[in-house]
Amino acid sequence: MTADLFDGFEDAGPAREPLAPGAALLRGFARRHETELITAIEAIAAQAPFRRMVTPGGHQMSVAMTSCGSFGWVTDRSGYRYDALDPDSGQPWPAMPPRFRELAERAAGEVGFAGFAPDACLINRYEPGAKMSLHQDRDERDIGAPIVSVSLGLPATFLFGGLKRADKTQRYRLAHGDVVVWGGPARLAFHGVAPLAVGEHALLGRQRINLTFRRAR
């Protein structure tokens, strides 16, 4: 591991906004590396294209997805799961870029989760109107590891609740470069994304890209 991988994170001075015990929003944490991140996303999507998956109930998701790392998240008629192979190609998912991994590790450390070692990165593409319903991230075998979520492109409204679906949710505006980390007592908090509003981002156009890092196995 070389020192230049961390260049720009130490002195970025993110504004840390607590959301709940074990959860925080790091304003602008990833923005300095926007060009490198976007270039890597484009390379990943060229190998494993975005696709709108179908839930076990037969509903096609409004969010298009792909993955990188040792495992990718998959949903189809047989259920939700992590798989080492892209079901569309039968090939392993693209490798996780070193910058992705270091960004996730550093962000987790900022919120008190040192030693985070993600093995999966879900890449979600939101276009105007796309949303993510309230849900828990519980398909991972190791729920002791946090979730690290990076926002790029159009702003979105992030919904963050409690450990029960009926718990009150708070709304947070996520801008380009913002990172949310949740783990510990907040690891199974319900969360989601409100329908994306129409807009135009200087680098990504009419879309939002979300990188979600997990420890799947």
The two tokens of residue 32 are: 């300095």
Nearest to 139 by CA among 210, 70, 74: 74
Contacts 24+ apart (CB under 8 A), 140-145: 140/82, 140/214, 140/215, 140/216, 140/217, 141/216, 141/217, 142/215, 142/216, 142/217, 143/187, 143/188, 144/183, 144/187, 145/113, 145/116, 145/117, 145/118, 145/183, 145/214, 145/215
Q: Is the whole-model pTM more than 0.85?
A: yes
Cβ–Cβ under 8 Å, residues 60 and 22 = no
Average pLDDT on 138-160 reads 96
Length of the chain: 217
The full set of domain ranges for the chain reads: 3-214
Kindly give the pairing relationship between strand 120-126 and strand 208-214.
antiparallel
> pLDDT digit string (tens) for 83-136?
999 999 999 999 999 999 999 999 999 999 999 999 999 999 999 999 999 999
Say which CATH superfamily domain 3-214 falls into.
Alpha-ketoglutarate-dependent dioxygenase AlkB-like (2.60.120.590)
Helix locations, 74-174, DSSP H: 98-110
Question: What is the percentage of the chain residues whose pLDDT exceeds 70?
Answer: 94
**Tell me, what's the pLDDT at 77?**
86
